[in-house]
């Protein structure tokens, strides 16, 4: 049996954060480093091993700026409204950092868009939808883990999809494929990250039937 250093692997899994305020906007990210991360991501599980995914890396300054404008035009009003509804504390800090990233999205060294090579038809069942995204999301998360292990920060964002068609036209993306997310990618500043506070596994886990907790 292959053995892993659980301290290292658990540390990677629990401290890979959605990085916004600690992205280094001034340091270029080599394309080869991004390709290394995508190489690892391509090994993630996918339905039928059909390899129906592609990746689009954007590092052209003009294109990044235009994508950033599209992102902010949708993210700005959305985040402002959500922030009004959010209680003070941790949630408010998340919205503040999300707005910070939205305002600087066009400055990131690289953007990475995971893409699925088809589209879901209207009226798609829950079963089909789960399988569809289940074939691309594991790879997207693997990309973030691979980036983190190489000193890169990233953030899972989707608010550019409010302007999906405009983004597709700008980047030459066919209308027959699906943009799944947009990852701003940069080296992160500082030394490390701490695990985020979360409820315990006992608090969020049921056994065998809904509502049956470990202590029941």
Rg (the chain; Cα; Å): 19
In a domain, 2, yes or no: no
Angstrom distance (rounded) from CA 31 to CA 58:
10
Angstrom distance (rounded) from CA 214 to CA 216:
6
In a domain, 191, yes or no: yes
Number of compact structural domains in the chain = 1
Under the banding of pLDDT at 50, 70 and 90, the label for residue 22 is very high
Parent domain of 27: 8-204
pLDDT at 193: 86
**Are 63 and 171 contacting, i.e. CB atoms less than 8 angstroms apart?**
yes
In a domain, 186, yes or no: yes
Measured from the Cβ of residue 158, the count of other Cβ atoms closer than 10 Å reads 14
In a domain, 151, yes or no: yes
Q: Which residues contact 33 (CB under 8 A, 6 or more apart)?
A: 150, 152
Q: Dump pLDDT digits (tens) for 163-206.
A: 999 999 999 999 999 999 999 999 999 878 888 889 999 999 99
Judged on CB neighbours under 10 Å (0-12, 13-18, 19+), 156 is middle
**Are 195 and 13 contacting, i.e. CB atoms less than 8 angstroms apart?**
no
């Amino acid at each position: 049996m292959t053995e892993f250093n659980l301290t290292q692997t658990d540390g990677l899994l629990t401290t890979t954060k959605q990085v916004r305020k600690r992205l280094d906007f001034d340091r270029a990210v080599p394309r080869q480093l991004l390709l290394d991360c995508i190489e690892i991501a391509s090994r993630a599980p996918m339905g039928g091993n059909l390899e129906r995914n592609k990746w689009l890396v954007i590092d052209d300054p003009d294109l990044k700026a235009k994508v950033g404008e599209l992102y902010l035009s949708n993210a700005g009003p959305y985040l402002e409204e959500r922030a009004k509804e959010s209680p003070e504390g941790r949630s408010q800090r998340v919205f503040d950092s999300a707005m910070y990233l939205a305002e600087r999205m066009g400055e990131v060294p690289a953007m990475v868009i995971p893409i699925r090579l088809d589209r879901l038809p209207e009226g798609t069942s829950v079963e089909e939808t789960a399988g569809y995204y289940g074939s691309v999301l594991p790879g997207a998360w693997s990309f973030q883990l691979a980036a983190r292990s190489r000193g890169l920060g990233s953030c899972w964002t989707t608010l550019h999809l409010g302007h999906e068609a405009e983004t597709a036209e700008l980047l030459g993306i066919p209308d027959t494929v699906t943009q799944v997310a947009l990852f701003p990618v940069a080296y992160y500043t500082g030394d490390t990250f701490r695990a985020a506070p979360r409820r315990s596994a006992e608090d969020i886990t049921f056994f065998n039937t809904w509502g049956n907790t470990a202590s029941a």
